[in-house]
Structure 1
Amino acid sequence: MMRISDLSRQSGVPVATIKFYLREQLLPPGEPTGRNQAVYDDRHLRRLQLIKVFTTLGRLDLTSVRRLLTAIADADVPVTGLYAALHQVQATSGEPTPDEAPAVAAARQDVDRLIASAGWQVPADAATRDQLATVLAAMRRLHCDASLSFFDDYVTAADQLARKQVGRLPAVEVERAEALARGLLLEEAFTAIHRLAVEHHAGQRFPSA
């Protein structure tokens, strides 16, 4: 058991923020030890570490964090539903403007074809379909190569990485919070590795004078 100051020190979360999380019920109450005093345990520490991952590395607002914590706590939400919830709050596509809508709609058809050709079974209303369509439409407005064949290598790499990621989960009794946090962190790791590779190859192709 630990006091709130110890919880703050171990988690790296300020005491004021912990108290805010307690008021907002993002963190369960501690065990009362007196008037306005309580002690906390490893459950609170793990929850704080999870929230910290979501808000810092995941760059999620607290409304999104609450949605994920609710999904984690609901045993009726399957593992696929956990990932769907994560991807829903990560989606940043938004509504296209009237001028953009036709291009986004055309790109959405291409996204559907990409998914079908990969043999993936993804719900028709998955937020990531619209997000990818928005990205493709933006690339085409900027006259970038955004043909489906351009993404063949990306599809292959993504399929292999996702297969490895999901394959590491136990077939039963998945630790739900850990699975969701791991999924988010692996996405961030892949993004960072990809950026490192781009910096390397850009330096090789366009060496500084």
Structure 2
Amino acid sequence: MRISDLSRQTSVPVATIKFYLRERLLPPGRRTGRNQAEYSGEHLRRLTLIRAFTTIGHLDLSSVRTLLAAIEDRDLPLPALYEVVNRVLFAEEPTTTSRPERTDQARTDVDGFIDRIGWHVEPEAPGKEELALILSTLQQLGCDCGVDFFLPYADAAERLAVQELDLLPPDGVGDRAAAVVRTVLLEAALAAIRRMARDHHVTLRYSRSEQPPPEAEPTAATRIPRPRNGRAEALRVGHRHPAGLPGPSGPR
């Protein structure tokens, strides 16, 4: 296909495609003339991937370049590939205005929290530092919450992580680009769904001024039936494999 066909099928302007070609985010097409080239389905998929990272994932081109290089590095094992994704998603160093002693206590609390739920997390994992800074900032702002406030978040996150990884083949060898783009897009999906859930419950609680707020609104988990034969199972925080790591119970 010509560059105009590529543009039409992806809704990406020709000028933007040429920019991606100059930046080598998109490989060159096969030369068919002095100023002409032919592009394939691989170019179509690569362009769709780039746009997903930039428009939905809100990643800059430097981050996109890092992800594309990691996807193409076949010597990079899957755990290391996910480490690259995490570094990209945590690209900005989190900062806080909390007092150092408060932040230090929050780090200790987060370490204990992760130990209690049985997760294997590297000591320098960026998520640990971010969670500690979030906790210390919430407390400084007067939010009366300890680290256990995050237990429901951890429960939901664990189930979602298992569901996402269940899409990979058992040997972990598969479409690396699909695995990476799922991680980026599902991060955005989770934020979108959480906002809609909050909007729903704000409406239930505060849009009926003549009625008192309900004591216990039904949750999505009780309204939506779970698939009986789905691979991803509902996990409870603290449930462990025999090896000690949290994971789905029962045979696969």
Q: Same fold (TM over 0.5)?
A: yes
Aligned to 1:197: 197
Aligned to 2:90: 91
CA distance in 1, matches of 2:79, 2:65: 18
Number of residue equivalences: 208
CA distance in 2, matches of 1:16, 1:117: 53
User: Do the aligned residues in 1 keep the contact of 2:7 with 2:17 (CA within 8 Å)?
Assistant: yes
Aligned to 1:116: 115
For structure 2, the 5+ residue unaligned runs are: 210-252
> Cα deviations across residues 146-179 of structure 1 (Å, max 9, x unaligned)?
4122111111111111111112211232200001
Aligned to 1:161: 160
Deviates more, 1:130-139 or 1:17-26: 130-139
User: Do the aligned residues in 2 keep the contact of 1:93 with 1:134 (CA within 8 Å)?
Assistant: no
Aligned to 2:237: none
CA distance in 2, matches of 1:192, 1:162: 17
CA distance in 2, matches of 1:76, 1:49: 24
Give the direction of change, closer, same or farther, for the CA distance of 1:101–1:43 in structure 2 (3 Å limit).
farther
User: Do the aligned residues in 1 keep the contact of 2:96 with 2:133 (CA within 8 Å)?
Assistant: no
Deviates more, 1:63-72 or 1:76-85: 76-85
Q: Supply the RMSD in Å over aligned alpha carbons.
A: 1.8
Give the direction of change, closer, same or farther, for the CA distance of 1:99–1:111 in structure 2 (3 Å limit).
closer
Q: TM-score, normalised by structure 1?
A: 0.91
CA distance in 1, matches of 2:97, 2:161: 35
User: Do the aligned residues in 1 keep the contact of 2:96 with 2:137 (CA within 8 Å)?
Assistant: no
More helix by share: 1
For structure 1, the 5+ residue unaligned runs are: none
Give % identity.
49
Aligned to 1:184: 184
Q: Which has the larger radius of gyration?
A: 2
Aligned to 2:221: none
**Is 1:72 aligned with 2:36?**
no
CA distance in 2, matches of 1:20, 1:101: 45
Q: TM-score, normalised by structure 2?
A: 0.77
